[in-house]
A and B are shown apart, each in its own frame.
Chain A
Amino acid sequence: MVELTINNLKVKAEEGMTILEAAKSVGISVPTLCYMKNLFPTGACRMCVVEVTGQRNLLPSCAFPVTEGMVVETNSPRVRRARKTIVELLVENHPQDCLICVRNKNCELQDLAERYAVREHRFAGEKRKHVVDISSPAMERDPAKCILCGRCVRVCNEIQKIGAIDFSGRGFASIVTTPYNKGLNVSDCILCGQCIIACPTAALRERSSTKIVSTALGNKNKFVVAQIAPAVRATLGEEFRMPAGTDVTGKLVSGLRRLGFKKVFDTNFAADLTIIEEANELVQRVVNNQPLPMFTSCCPGWVKFAEMNYPEIIPNLSSCKSPHEMEGAILKSYFAKKMGLDPRDIFVVSIMPCTVKKFESERPELGHDALHDVDSVLTTRELVRFFNMAGIDFSDLPDEEFDNPLGESTGAAAIFGTSGGVMEAAIRTAYYTITGQNLDNVEIDEIRGMEGVKSATLTMGELEVKVAVVNGIGNVRPLIDEINAGTSPYHFIEVMACPGGCINGGGQPIHQNLDNVMKRVRALYEIDKKSVTRRSHDNEAIKTLYKEFLKEPGSHTAHTLLHTHYHDRSGK
């Protein structure tokens, strides 16, 4: 323990703590931009500077450790002047078009300009000019709005370990960009959007689909339906000032109906369906000696990563489409027939926590007869804009139920939205498929939580099944290396590109608070706990679907509608 003084307050801090952490522990907040919790400080932005007696220069509190007897001022005139100047410098090299900006009212630069009362253009001069990178169907990069804090670079390099973007150029010409400035779509980017939710400004953002959806909703000849991903219901409330982890399923359904969607379905239905197909595929692979371990394929970011970097493991990817694509396929076949609709008139909108799903929905193999299974993907953030534009006061909405038959789901589907959830759901059903009996304790603690790689060994009748859960794409490479070396002990591996799973997806509400992610996860487990049925194979609507239409898991119809194939994108 060391004792220091911060703003005349005696503070006890642990050795090795930074000034920033020590100040925070006594409720003194210091503004930061480049700082990222749990990562080594880079000291890039200088927003967090403080005055320390005896030191010639101001010091970055995020990077400087506390020492015994240190005397710190976090709010002296010298500090305020420095911080204000830094904000002014950033503002002056910025487009300043807040009124037409997607991050208006949720922007750290805007907040700082307000907090430090920037009221004049003291350093007006040349501004950087850059073109917006719209090469990708899922994301946009707008370097003119970039303040070069480096948070995206660190997420992409240090957490996701992709390395699609980095600093380039010097001085005023510095830019965060892709290799050779060639555009995200030809880089190693997997479009996970983790950089978007790390970005303090609008320099990184999703490719907006609101216009397409809006046009479809206005088209009398279109039967526009929505489906809601498992992870959206536990996060969207945050955008309407509800506490993180509030379950807003019922309001989402009624809200979407008010927006004009003819039917509102639940992607959770298709999550249950995915489990049935995937568990069956796993058993088939074991029985028929096909490539193992099998990887989950419901995360398109992971699929893109595998296709681009490890084409040799494509045979290990489950051939199952991701749940919302399955839902779309069933909507345009089974449901269309049932309702007497022409599949061409159905317009499926997926409400997703994810940016890659925009890319996924455009994959040509995910569809039939020149029709995409899913027509458009809205992220959680984009849907919020729809509600705002329609003047819908979300918190006042009544709770309503999903439409059927594609609205019914089990607790197993609910946890798809969190890392380990798909695996847990799969185990519940695989156990039944293999042993003919139901697992007593459906909660598998070993694969819950935030570790990078989680694993468990389960006894299913005579079989010892070893499973692993990869939480965040940055942790996957060692497991693939094991497979290539022939030493992988696993039968089944879940991979989610986003740390924490879809609940922390690139399309989710932007906040810089890790605690919120934990609250969101808890909400999903809570939904599961409260569910009457917690095993996908107990879903009555799914049973009917097989009876009336698909016949059995892995049937010919199931294969044409619910399974897909992958491409080598490595360019090797």
Chain B
Amino acid sequence: MLSWTDQSLKVIPYKLIEGMIVAAYAIGANFGYIYCRAEYPLAISRLTHCIHECEKYGLLGDNILNSKFNFRLKIKKGAGAFVCGEETALIASIEGKRGMPKPRPPFPAVSGLWGKPTVINNVETLSNITSIISKGAEWFASVGTEKSKGTKVFALSGKIVNTGLVEIPMGITLEEVVFNIGGGIPFNKKFKAVQIGGPSGGCLPMSVIKTQVDYESLKDVGAMMGSGGFVVMDEDTCMVDIARFFLNFIQSESCGKCVPCREGTKRMLEIIERVPVAYKEGIDKYDQLQRFKGIIGLKRLADVIRDTSLCGLGQSAPNPVLSGLQYFKDEYEEHLFDRRCRSGVCKELLTFTIDTTLCSGCGLCKRKCGTEAIIGQKGEAHYVLQDKCIKCGMCLETCRFCAINVN
């Protein structure tokens, strides 16, 4: 069995099916499932077609090629819960139960689907089988590093010139992937970070760009191979915002079973959400204390979540935050102490002012502002009342004289 990432759309289905037949033959399995999100109809229709073809030619079914070996393949459509990629949750899902992980042991290889021994592999792994068998293990092992052999498919995305699927030999550096294969950052922007390994991968900065792409090296710098996601970020990306985004995703995808992941990621998200807030007269003293305490407690909370969560989702959930705190500490501190977002992403920290030398006094912004934050007489320079401004940006869009400043 296997689960499916969108990258695998491009994997030739026959390679996968053949790989599964071989794998099944090796372990004596008579039934295989391909677990695929129902949201990928193209993948499903292609696979269905290919399975039918194989059945027609006697490559799937009873007594395959007179070998006395029977093997059937079934596609199981999943409802798109991220956690259903975790192997025990995937099994539960195929069994028609709620996709919730279970403690291991017992491992699926001992007691898996319907309580029977089960092998679960990634599409990429299974698709590699036939090439390895026909060309030999040495051929496969000749590519890659000491411990990470072969190639790896990545889905390049984000602020990078060449997006899409790339297959790279293990062991080349991040730099080569980003700047050679990926063609660098568009619009002459500066590279800021690359996030590897899906929503709970770590964000790696320029300082570790020479890291080799292999399982061990990535882990050493706080990222992981994971699903092969490769998201590049440029200088316009705010690392606090990124942490918030991924925590939000993880939190809403947590299956809710175990306390550290269900409750802990929510608290982490809240702490991160409190980082980019603007100064407020009066109520700020307590608030400021909470923000500091939050960040101080964040590391400890993250450690406990990583240390105690039941499945890989929770165990890796703190990665974006931890790598952010490690590599982009200055950015966090800026948000926290200077209340500044250098990328201009955290809206609440922006200050809108009117350049009195440019303002013509047309009053357009005053009329557009929803909170009556702009005052001024017709024909004279206007002003923004900061305590009323909600940073919606409407005045900026409205002004025809470029008189609105943002910083």
Contact = CB atoms under 8 A, between A and B. Distances in A.
A93 interface: yes
B270 A42 contact: no
Contact of B263 (A57, A90, A150): A90
B19 interface: no
A77 to B, nearest CB: 12
A64, A85, A92, A172 interface centre (most CB from chain B within 10 Å): A85
Interface string A39-51: 0011111110100
A171 interface: yes
Given A123-B301, A126-B270, A171-B253, A82 B307 contact: yes
B308 A49 contact: yes
A174 B266 contact: no
A90 B307 CA distance: 17
Contacts of B340: none
A89 B314 CA distance: 15
B251 interface: yes
Interface string B262-279: 111111001000000000
Interface magnitude class on chain A: 35 or more
A167 B89 CA distance: 14
Contacts of B270: 123, 125-126
A93 B103 contact: no
A119 interface: no
Interface string B223-258: 000000000000000000000000000011111111
Nearest to A149: B259
A63 interface: yes
A332 to B, nearest CB: 49
B323 interface: no
Interface in A306-353: none
A540 B103 CA distance: 60
* Chain B, interface SS category: helix
B103 A41 contact: yes
Nearest to A44: B257
A148 B262 contact: yes
B256 A174 contact: yes
A46 B265 contact: no
A171 B314 CA distance: 11
Of the candidates A41, A42, A81, A125, the one having the most CB atoms from chain B within 10 angstroms of its own CB is A125
Contacts of B293: 122
Contacts of A124: 290
10 contacts: A44-B258, A46-B258, A46-B308, A86-B304, A89-B260, A150-B257, A167-B100, A169-B256, A170-B253, A174-B255
Interface string A384-399: 0000000000000000
A78 B262 contact: no
A73 interface: no
B308 A57 contact: yes
A166 interface: yes
A388 B310 CA distance: 43
Contacts of B297: 122-123
Contacts of A45: 258-259
A171 B306 contact: no
A31 interface: no
Contacts of A46: 258-260, 308-310
A183 interface: no
Given A85-B301, A123-B301, A125-B270, A57 B258 contact: no
Given A49-B308, A81-B304, A148-B256, A171 B251 contact: yes
Interface string A167-191: 1011111100000000000000000
B103 A43 contact: yes
Contacts, number: 114
A90 B308 contact: no
Interface of A: 41-47, 49, 57-58, 60, 63-65, 78, 81-82, 85-86, 89-90, 92-93, 122-126, 147-148, 150, 166-167, 169-174
B259 A90 contact: yes
A124 B315 CA distance: 22
B258 A125 contact: no
A92 B266 CA distance: 11
A171 B100 CA distance: 12
A246 B252 CA distance: 50
A173 B266 CA distance: 10
Given A42-B102, A122-B297, A170 B254 contact: yes
Contacts of A60: 103, 310
B26 to A, nearest CB: 28
B397 to A, nearest CB: 33
A132 B105 CA distance: 38
A122 B297 CA distance: 8
B258 A93 contact: no
Contacts of B265: 171
A125 B81 CA distance: 26
Top 8 A-B pairs, shortest CB-CB distance: A174-B256, A43-B103, A89-B263, A63-B103, A123-B267, A125-B270, A171-B254, A85-B304
Given A90-B263, A148-B259, A166-B98, 11 more contacts: A41-B103, A43-B310, A57-B307, A81-B304, A86-B259, A86-B308, A89-B260, A169-B256, A170-B256, A171-B254, A171-B256
B135 interface: no
B68 interface: no
A89 to B, nearest CB: 4
Contacts of B280: none
B300 interface: yes
A317 to B, nearest CB: 33
